[in-house]
Amino acid sequence: MIYYYGNEVCTGCKITKMMLDKTNIPYQYVDVATIPGFEGEIPQLQLYDGALLIGNHEIRQWIRESGYY
């Protein structure tokens, strides 16, 4: 399972969500507002192997290299 960490007001998060939805990548959305004390950068993807991608550049690169887009 891929976990997507973001929130509803972050512009970069909205872009990430559009990329994931457009490429039909299955993911579980986690609103960081529900995580007490969360201080990480968003958007983030946690991949199947536990690797963490931070920011749209890393996420977009992974989507392209993975063959989803």
Model confidence, pTM: 0.90
Which residues fall within 8 angstroms of residue 69, CB to CB, at 6 or more apart? Answer: 19, 22, 23, 63
List the domain range (segments joined by +) for residue 60.
3-65
Percent of the chain with pLDDT over 70: 99
pLDDT attached to residue 67 = 83
Q: For the chain, what is the domain count?
A: 1
pLDDT 10s digits, 14-36: 999 999 999 999 999 999 999 99
| Mean pLDDT, residues 30-56 | 96
Looking up residue 24, the CATH number of its domain turns out to be: 3.40.30.10
Q: Is the dihedral of CA 22, 23, 28, 32 positive or negative?
A: negative
